[in-house]
Amino acid sequence: MDSNKKLGLIGRNISYSFSKKFFENKFQKLMLKDFSYDIFDLNEINEVENLFSSPELLGFNVTIPYKEQIISYLDELSDEAEKIGAVNCVLIQNGKKTGYNTDAFGFEKTLFLHKKNAQDKALILGNGGAAKAVKYVLDKHNIPSKTITRNSETNFENLDTETVQEHKIIVQCTPVGTFPNVKDCLKFPFDALSSEHLVIDLIYNPNYTQFIINASEKGAKTVNGYYMLEQQAEKAWEIWNFQKK
């Protein structure tokens, strides 16, 4: 009889997790009785040490705010995780801990499902782990991008309509507007948006953030983070199950 295989998600204040439901449904569908998926809510990243001592742990997903902090606890990084500087999936094999970034894979699938040829320049809102994965994908496909943060030269206070008009892809990578704070919205010149714009908000809960609602009112094509989330989870599942050396 195979021993138990533990998977999970580390983050802070993870009150709602897509991943747990997603993987438990998967175990059920595939009739995998020996797999479990747990939520590991860590106040500080160093608490991850306790997790590593569990012999059944096959790997885990990483969410806000630990995608960058987890790196110093790992033995190795995949190429894309190293280039991005953020990890959202960890594989543990024979005690060796390897970090991957499946956010990049998920975003790439989402982008090319919706992108039109004329949409050839992007604005990235935010600069956390997810924003880094987004930038990596845009760079890979030679799509010029500009990152907007609170402290960047072009920031949320001085971002003008002209810049928004020029950049037909807008990717919202901050947690602003996530459940339960669904009325919150980034300061953004929505009037500059048109039907020529593609607006991707990486948030999936709620389905329609205030940012997406405001953008769709201006005629922009809007997409939430749900498909990206599914795709990055599928990729993680592949990593945990098919990387057996």
At the topology level, CATH places domain 5-101 in: Rossmann fold (3.40.50)
Distance, CA of 21 to CA of 138 (rounded, Å) = 30
In the chain, CATH 3.40.50.10860 covers 5-101
Taking only the tens place, the pLDDT of each residue in 158-198 is: 999 999 999 999 999 999 999 899 999 999 999 999 999 99
> What is the C-alpha separation between 81 and 31, in angstroms, rounded?
31
C-alpha triplet 151, 115, 147: angle, nearest 5°? 10
Are 169 and 119 a contacting pair, CB within 8 Å? yes
Q: Are 130 and 173 contacting, i.e. CB atoms less than 8 angstroms apart?
A: yes
pLDDT at 243: 60
CATH 3.40.50.720 maps onto the chain at 104-226
Provide the CATH topology of domain 104-226.
Answer: Rossmann fold (3.40.50)
Which residues are designated catalytic? 67
What is the per-residue pLDDT for 64? Answer: 87
Does pLDDT of 244 surpass 60?
Answer: no
Confidence (pLDDT) at 13: 85
What's the pLDDT score for residue 1? 40
What are phi and psi for residue 37, nearest 5 degrees?
-130, 120
* Stated pTM of the model: 0.92
